[in-house]
Structure 1
Amino acid sequence: MKNSPVTDMDVRSSALGNGVSKKPVANRLYQTSTMAALLDAVYDGETTLDELLQYGNFGLGTFNALDGEMIVTEGVVRQFRAEGLAAEVPGSLKTPFACVTYFEPEKTFNIDRPQTKESFEGLVDSLVGNPNLFAAVRFTGEFERVDTRTVFCQCKPYPHMLEVVKKQPTLTMESVTGTMIGFRTPVYMQGVNVAGYHLHFLTEDQKRGGHVTEYRLVRGQLEVATISNLEIKLPRTEQFAQANLNPEHLSEAIRIAEGG
């Protein structure tokens, strides 16, 4: 007998705890708010981490008040604070911006020679093929070097994100093993998300990491999945209503904010 197809309603029912166990929709991106809103200091969201995990076990983001960087691996949310140390956090915390999916790799590639950031991204692009779709990316292995950053918790009135990143703590890790995950976003989605690659890193001992700004790989396993199904939950807050989501020089501002 063939299994019946899983619908969005099945997944939502399971997530809401009605006792019906259903396999979640794989490689469907769920996003809270937009990158343009975060850039304009919309640092308080309505979605709790428990709610976020109903939609994915893999992803990244930040926390209310811009309190550090977020990584979601194997259904566990970790927070990187300003010193780059990782810690698990309670599900009651909220996020102003996050992207998650139930990651099921569609292609796997063993990397056995050093790769720069540029050559690695080119490899992922070739595996995905379609530049107009999203992609989920996971690399697990050895790094010659990983440069990361985190952000400080902010106090109201919130400063613009470009002011925040001027003071962001950075961390360089050399000869380190760990996992780098994230998403590739099509260029036409700039502002909704981060066009290009947005990656976070977690060391093998799960103690350090952050938002990745530069790296060089040695060897390991690359896994990718193409994403063509996207859901975005936009805030209904006054802060979001007043945000300028289409400023001049948006792409340049995001590049600076992301450390590109």
Structure 2
Amino acid sequence: MVKQPVADMDLRSSALGNGVSGKPPINRLYQTSTMAALLDAVYDGETTLDELLQHGNFGLGTFNSLDGEMIVTDGVVRQFRAEGLAAEVPGSLKTPFACVTYFEPEKNVTVDTPKDKESFEALVDQLLGNPNLFGAVRFTGLFERVDTRTVFCQCKPYPHMLEVVKKQPTFTMESVSGTMIGFRTPVYMQGVNVAGYHLHFLSEDHKRGGHVTEYKIVKGMLEVATISDLQVQLPRTKQFAQANLNPESLSEAIRIAEGG
């Protein structure tokens, strides 16, 4: 389990030049690589988890060799492998794709009536407003149902992601409490990230979760923040240089890969 030291966070935030000494830059999205690269089997990145945590304490992603799903909550990185269970991970592990921020809610609302995926996203859209900006989302509460999936660790030569997801393990959790976090990405950023909603779930006992494909919430607290500051760190690897980042039917391929 990786947790960012408070002292290191303060030093790094000053180096990032946010203009406020001792405080990390809030609600700025840091991303390593792109979704289009991941789709084209660029499964090996250069960024370690320790390096990733220099840029945020909240987020999601995956691990080198596509070894499961990642969730970052309160500066702690957890890995969901093929069995859907949360695991501790060392800071030396690397990621080929991840998005993190220092999340500070700008709006929050108590949800006291059940909502399915469509009505939940509509509420978040209403709270965030501007559809051309990114949004960070956190919902903590009771779920009637959460469907998740994870991915198997891959071996070289790496298969295309659409081949991988055909065999992905899926799980259904019912009457479960936990936290669902992630990001809303503007449509025009499709391929750089995942247009629309990309959410991961962690159960209240920190034992189960993964990439969310479907859900229905019962009640809880919804928190959101608008993101207009984006930093993308692109790999300088041979694999990334040779990737096809603008394939035909990119949006449809991402929809399939993300379980939409």
TM tier, smaller: over 0.9
Identical counterparts, % of pairs = 84
Partner-residue secondary structure (3-state), 2:167:
coil
Say whether the 8 Å CA contact 1:32–1:233 is kept in structure 2: yes
d(CA) in 1 for partners of 2:12, 2:123:
36
d(CA) in 2 for partners of 1:107, 1:55:
22
Q: Structure 2 unaligned segments of length 5 or more: list them.
A: 1-10
Say whether the 8 Å CA contact 1:133–1:227 is kept in structure 2: yes
Q: Within the alignment, does 1:121 sit opposite 2:125 as a pair? A: no
CA RMSD of aligned residues (A): 1.5
Partner-residue secondary structure (3-state), 1:166:
helix
Task: Show the counterpart of 1:253.
Answer: 253
Partner-residue secondary structure (3-state), 1:26:
coil
d(CA) in 1 for partners of 2:129, 2:16:
33
Say whether the 8 Å CA contact 1:162–1:253 is kept in structure 2: yes
d(CA) in 1 for partners of 2:184, 2:88:
25
Task: Show the counterpart of 1:87.
Answer: 87
d(CA) in 2 for partners of 1:11, 1:219:
35
Say whether the 8 Å CA contact 2:84–2:150 is kept in structure 1: yes
- Within-5 A mapping of 1:73-222: 73-222=73-222
d(CA) in 2 for partners of 1:148, 1:135:
21
d(CA) in 2 for partners of 1:43, 1:12:
32
TM-score (norm. length: structure 1): 0.93
After superposition, what is the alpha-carbon deviation per residue over 1:147-196, rounded to whole angstroms, capped at 9, x for unaligned?
A: 00000000000000000000000000000000000000000000000000
TM-score (norm. length: structure 2): 0.93
d(CA) in 2 for partners of 1:191, 1:10:
29
Shift of residue 12, structure 1, vs aligned partner: 5.7
Extract structure 1 runs of 4+ deviating beyond 2 A: 12-15
Task: Show the counterpart of 1:5.
Answer: none
Say whether the 8 Å CA contact 2:199–2:212 is kept in structure 1: yes
Instruction: Output the amino acid matched with 2:174.
Output: E
Inter-CA distance 12–112: structure 2 relative to 1 (3 Å threshold): same
Task: Show the counterpart of 2:233.
Answer: 233
Instruction: Output the amino acid matched with 1:245.
Output: L
d(CA) in 2 for partners of 1:12, 1:93:
25
Instruction: Output the amino acid matched with 2:57.
Output: N
d(CA) in 1 for partners of 2:52, 2:116:
32
Say whether the 8 Å CA contact 1:76–1:88 is kept in structure 2: no
Partner-residue secondary structure (3-state), 2:213:
strand
d(CA) in 2 for partners of 1:14, 1:192:
23
Partner-residue secondary structure (3-state), 1:70:
strand
Task: Show the counterpart of 2:42.
Answer: 42
Shift of residue 87, structure 1, vs aligned partner: 1.1
Say whether the 8 Å CA contact 1:34–1:97 is kept in structure 2: yes
Task: Show the counterpart of 1:71.
Answer: 71
Say whether the 8 Å CA contact 2:14–2:22 is kept in structure 1: no
Instruction: Output the amino acid matched with 1:62.
Output: T
Q: Structure 1 unaligned segments of length 5 or more: list them.
A: 1-8, 16-20
Say whether the 8 Å CA contact 2:180–2:202 is kept in structure 1: yes
d(CA) in 1 for partners of 2:88, 2:75:
11
Inter-CA distance 80–237: structure 2 relative to 1 (3 Å threshold): same
d(CA) in 1 for partners of 2:219, 2:15:
41
d(CA) in 1 for partners of 2:236, 2:38:
14
d(CA) in 2 for partners of 1:127, 1:51:
32
Shift of residue 22, structure 1, vs aligned partner: 1.7
Say whether the 8 Å CA contact 1:14–1:22 is kept in structure 2: no
Shift of residue 14, structure 1, vs aligned partner: 7.7
d(CA) in 1 for partners of 2:213, 2:193:
17
Residue from 10, 13, 19 that aligns with 1:11: 13
